[in-house]
Amino acid sequence: MRGFVYVDTDAFHCLGRAFQAKPIREDLKGRILLSPITFLEALTHLTLKTKEDVLSHFRAIRNWANPRDLHLLPWPSHAIAEFAFCTRADDLEFPSFVEETINSCLVAESATEFHEAAGELKNLLDNHKKQKAAQFQELVNLYVAAADTGADLSLAWVRAIANRAKVSIDVRPLSEVLSKLSAYYEYEQERIKVAANNPSYVPDENDVFDSEQLVYLADPSLHFVTGDGGYLRRIKSSPQRNQIHRIPLEELRDSSRIESLVARITS
């Protein structure tokens, strides 16, 4: 099976630096796909002082992606519906201007014109993270209650993601959903356990998007490249652990090493 790679935000910026002035090998174009989570976070960096450098990383996409078939992976809710429940979500979680902004970045000359849109996106993401933090606390409370009652937390977790994707929990057996999302589930379980056992624990809001990157591993052809060692520290038993590749960021700034990595993973 031919594989594909997607990356987190730090790795995206490394790709932008590595391929800013040169294209990736022609046979590797199209093998690195675009995670919408990564794009959203990278777009908010257009509000930083380094925004012109950030914009250059967007322009570099044409050097490592196939310009004739440039596409995003599904939105997380769509990926959950499609991969885990074998159906489709009804709507997007984010407004359509996100994709329009992405396309504009590919041809933009200056980051200044995106400052307002990037600011709106940042506010949108901050609100989304707060909503997810509240939902996470609900799961923590359920976990604590389940420890006393013997209730099955996995059912509550699957019900929560089914509600998010706007699909019926009954369309697929619980065990199959958990199997398809095993890395995502294990990562979230570890977060919940830490929070439940430490009353003073304050969850990192960025964990929301870190965990959502894992839903794509339900597709065995997709491999996640990241410099963040936290994923493999939390995910120990999921078979999808083998689809997570922790690579030092300095290696991801080297175009030759990236080409070797992508060729090895996707062959």
Whether residue 255 has pLDDT greater than 90: yes
Of residues 166 and 115, the one with the higher pLDDT is 166
Whether residue 257 has pLDDT greater than 90: yes
- 260 Cβ neighbours under 8 A, 6+ residues apart: none
Angle (deg, nearest 10), helices 36-44 and 9-18: 80
Of residues 238 and 101, the one with the higher pLDDT is 238
pLDDT digits (tens, 9 = 90+) for 130-144: 777 777 777 788 777
Of residues 50 and 81, the one with the higher pLDDT is 81
At 149 the pLDDT is: 61
Query: What single-letter DSSP state applies at residue 237?
Result: S
Which residue is associated with the tokens 């999302």? 181
pTM: 0.88
At 95 the pLDDT is: 47
Of residues 258 and 95, the one with the higher pLDDT is 258
Domain range for 141 is: 4-266
pLDDT digits (tens, 9 = 90+) for 178-209: 999 999 999 988 888 888 888 777 777 677 77
Residue 94, CA distances (Å) to 9, 82, 214 in order: 18, 18, 19
Number of domains, the chain:
1
Query: What single-letter DSSP state applies at residue 65?
Result: S
